[in-house]
Structure 1
Amino acid sequence: MKQTGIPLAAPSNPNHSRSLSVGQSIRHSFARYRGVVVALSLGTLLSGCGVINNMMYKTTGDVMQGFSREHTIPYLMESGDLAMGCAMSEATAPLLMSFGRVTDEPDQLAVMLYLSAGGCAEDQGREHELAALAAMYERKGNAAEDAMIRQKRAYALASKRYLKSWQHHNTYYGESGTGECPDFDDDLDEFIYLAGLLSGLQALNAEIQSTSSIGVPKNVGSIVARASSCLENDKWWGAPMALKATVWAMIPGAQPEGEDAFDRLAMTDRLGEEAGVRLSHVFHAIAATNKGDEAMVKSVVRRHAESLKEQPANAEWAFVDAMATNIIVSISDRLWVENTGHRTPLGQLGSFWDDQQKEVETMDLDGLL
C-alpha cells in the first residue's frame, strides 16, 4: 500500500512543533558556549591556584629566611666543621636566594652564604697554589703552570662570590664607610655586619690573586677600614681593629699619623687569644706576608699554634676560630712547600723545617779507659 504523507499520530498541542524548535535552539546555544564557560571557569580556578601558590611560596620563603637566621647560622657558628659549612653554603645558596623572587630579597642571609661560598673557592685556590709550589720545587714547569692557571680561576670565582656578599651587605645595611652606623638588632646582626666587611676586603684580595678584572671597587679597603669603627673592638675579639690595621699595612698612605699597624695587630692578637676566636692572627699574617717579613709570619703561626694549646675555641664562635686556624695552616703549608716540597707535617703546626737542631752525640771516653 502506498504510504501517504499523513503522520501516524498528530500532536495534541498545536504549538508543540514551535516548542521543539525553541528547545533545540537553546540546547545548541548552550553547547556552543559551553566550551567558553568551561574555559573561563578553569582560568579562574587556575588563577586562584596561582595566587594560592604564590602565597605558599612567600610564606615558605619567609619561614626559611627566619629559620636560617635564628637557627641555622648560630648552629653552624657553634660547629667547627668547615667542610660541612662549605658544602651547605654552596648547595643551599641557590635555593634560599631564589625565595627573593616571591618575597623580600634575603640580603642579610646572602652575606653569609656568599662569604662562605667564596671561602670554598678560595680554599681550592690555595690548594692549587700548593700544587704549583710543589711542582716548581720538583722542577716540573708544565705542571706548575697548569696549577697556577687553576689557582687564578679559583680566585676569580672566589672574588665574584665575595663581591656578591659585599653588595648584599651594602643593600641591607646601607653604603658602608659613610660615617653613619646602622642600628643593630642583636649580636648576630653585628656579626653579619662584620662578615660583610670581611667579604669586601676578601673580594679585593681574591681579585688581585686572580690577576683578573672582576669589578671590585678599588677603594673597598678604605671603606672597610672606616666602617669597622661601627663595631666594638673588645666585643668582637679585636677583629674590627685588625681589619683596619691590615688596610693600613697594605695600602700606602692609609696609616694615620702616630699609628703603627703592626703594634695594633699585636694588641688585637691578644684579644683574640683570650676570647678563643683567633681571627686577628689571620690579618696579622696577611699583613706580614704583604710586607715580605717571613720571620714575622713564622712568629704569628707559632703564636697561633701555642694559643690553640692554651685556650680552647669559644663555643659560640667555634666555626670562626676553626676558619682562622685553617687559613693559618695554609700559610704555614705555603712556607713548608716552598722550602721542602711538602706541607706542614701532621701535628707540627708552629714548627718549621729550619727549627730542627741536630743533637751531637757525645761519648763518655772516661768509661773506656
Structure 2
Amino acid sequence: MVYKTTGDVMQGFSRGHTVPYLLESEDLAMGCAMSEATAPLLMSFGRVTSEPDQLAVMLYLSAGGCADEQARQHELEALAALRAMKAEEAEDAMIRQKRASGLAGARYLRGWQHHTAFYGAPGQGECPDFDDEIDEFIYFAGLLSGLQALNAQIQSTSSIGVPMNIGSTVARATSCLENDKWWGAPLALRATVWAMLPGAQPEGEDAFERLAIADEQGEQAGVRLSHVFHAIAAMNKGDEQGLRAVIRAHADSLGNRPSDPQWRMVDKMSTQLMVAISDRMWMENTGHRTPMGRFGRFWDDQPEQVETMNLDDLL
C-alpha cells in the first residue's frame, strides 16, 4: 500500500508540476538529462500501481531526443571526416550515428506505444475527451513520437518495429487538435506528411501553402515548431532555396517575438533543430558548423552593402 500510494503521488506530481515546469524551461540539456535519469524510477511505479502511460509519452519523447542529438553530432563528425578525406573516421562516425538513431527510434517507439495504450489507436474512431491543456499537449507529443520513431528507423537503416504507415496515421490524428490553439503545428505536421508521402495530399490542397500559413501562426505565437516541419518537407523535396528561406525566417523571427513562456522549451527545441539543419549545411559546404552570430545566414551570401559618404567636399 505504501508503494502504491507513493507511485500515485509521484505520477500525479510529475504530470501536474514537473511536466509544466520543464515546458517553461529553456535548458534543453537539463530536460534531456532528467528524462534519461528518472525514466526508470518513474516507470517502475507501474509495477505497484497503474501504468504511467501519459508520463511515459513525455519521458520517452525527451529521452529519444537525447539520442537523436547524439546522432546529429556523429553525423557532423562524419561529414567533417569526409571533407578531410579520412575515410575510416567517417565510416566510424556513420556507424555511431546509426546506432544512436536506432536507440532514439526505440525510445520514440515506446513513447508511441504508451500513447496508444492511454488514448487508443490514433486516427481511428472518435477523438479523446481531453481533461486540460497538458492532456492535449501530451496527445500531440505522442504523435510526434510516432513520426520521430519512423524517421529514426530510416536513419538507422535497420528495422526496430515501427509501422511504416505511422505517418498517415499521425496525419489523421492531428484533426483531434485545434490548429489555432497549438501554434499551427497540427496543420504543419499534416502538411509535411502530405509533402512526403506520394498520393497523401488531398485534391485541391497544397502542402507548402499550408506550411507557410502554419509558419505565420507559429511565429506570432512564439512557438515556431512549424518551421521544423517545413524544413523537413523542403529537404525531402530537395528544395535548398526553400530550406534556406525557412531557416532565415526562423532566425529573423527569434529577434521579433520572444518564446511563449508557457511553452518555452518547445520553442527552444525548435530552434535547436533548425540550428542542427543549418549546421549540416555549413559542414557540408565549409567543413565547420554554423558560426556564432551567423544563424540565418549562409557561407555564400553576398556581403551587406555599406553606405559610404563622399569626403572630397570636406577636404
Q: TM-score range by the shorter chain?
A: over 0.9
Q: 2:260 aligns with which of 314, 339, 347?
A: 314
What's the CA shift for 1:347? 1.5
Aligned counterpart in structure 2 of residue 190 of structure 1, from 136, 142, 167: 136
Indicate conservation of the 8 Å contact 1:117/1:158, yes or no.
yes
Judging changes above 3 Å, is the alpha-carbon distance between structure 1 residues 365 and 303 closer, same or farther for their aligned structure 2 residues?
closer
**TM-score normalised to the size of structure 2?**
0.97
**CA separation in 1, counterparts of 2:303 and 2:220?**
32
Aligned twin of 1:215: 161
The answer to whether residue 42 in structure 2 is matched with residue 99 in structure 1 is: no
CA distance in 2, matches of 1:98, 1:265: 40
Asked if the contact 1:179–1:226 (Cα under 8 Å) also holds between the matched residues in 2, the reply is no
Distance 1:87 1:199 in 2: 18
Q: Secondary structure at the match of 1:157?
A: helix
The one-letter amino acid of 1:292's match is G
Match of 1:162 among 108, 111, 116: 108
Q: In 1, distance between residues paired with 2:236 and 2:70?
A: 21
Q: How many corresponding residue pairs?
A: 313
Distance in structure 1 (CA, Å) of the matches to 2:41 and 2:15: 15
- Residues 17-41 of structure 1 show CA distances to partners (whole Å, capped at 9, x for unaligned) of xxxxxxxxxxxxxxxxxxxxxxxxx
Query: What runs of 5+ residues in structure 1 fail to find an aligned partner?
Result: 1-54
Structure 1 equivalent of residue 276 of structure 2: 330
* 1:359 CA displacement: 7.0
Match of 1:171 in 2: 117
* Cross-structure match for 2:211: 265
- Could you give the per-residue CA deviations for residues 196-236 of structure 1, whole angstroms, max 9, x where no partner exists? 00000000001001000010001100000000000000000
Distance 2:37 2:140 in 1: 23
Partner amino acid, structure 2, of 1:69: R
Residues in 1 aligned to 2:268 and 2:119: alpha-carbon distance in whole angstroms: 27
Distance 1:261 1:317 in 2: 26
Bigger Rg, which one? 1
Is the 1:89–1:114 contact (alpha carbons within 8 Å) kept by the matching residues of 2?
yes
Give the structure 1 partner of residue 228 of structure 2: 282
> Contact (CA 8 Å) 1:336, 1:342: kept in 2 or not?
yes
Q: 1:141 to 1:71 in 2, by over 3 A?
A: same
Structure 2 counterpart of 1:201:
147
Counterpart position of 1:112: 58
Q: 1:103 to 1:299 in 2, by over 3 A?
A: same
- Could you say which residue in structure 2 is the equivalent of 1:248? 194
Task: Name segments (4+ residues, structure 1) moved above 2 Å.
Answer: 356-360, 364-367
Structure 1 366/63 Cα, relative in aligned 2: closer, same or farther at 3 Å? closer
Q: Say which of 183, 205, 227 aligns to 2:173.
A: 227
CA contact (8 A) 1:207 1:214 kept: yes
CA RMSD, Structure 1 to Structure 2 (Å):
1.7
Distance 1:238 1:271 in 2: 5
Name the SS for the 2:270 alignment partner. Answer: helix
Task: Give SS of 1:177's match.
Answer: coil
Distance 1:225 1:365 in 2: 62
Corresponding residue number in structure 2 for 1:16: none
Aligned-residue offset at 1:356: 3.6
Contact 1:279 1:321 in 2 (8 A): yes
Matches of 2:14 and 2:302, distance apart in 1: 48
Secondary structure, aligned partner of 1:183:
coil
Contact 1:179 / 1:227 at 8 angstroms: preserved in 2?
no
Q: CA deviation at 1:137?
A: 1.3
Which of the numbers 83, 93, 105 marks the counterpart of 2:29? Answer: 83
Question: CA offset at residue 328 of structure 1?
Answer: 0.2
Percent identical across equivalent pairs? 74
**TM-score, normalising length: structure 1:** 0.83
Query: How much does 1:179 deviate?
Result: 3.3
Q: Aligned to 1:181, what secondary structure does the other structure show? A: coil
SS at structure 2 position matched to 1:91: helix
Is this contact kept in 2: 1:129–1:151, CA < 8 A?
A: yes
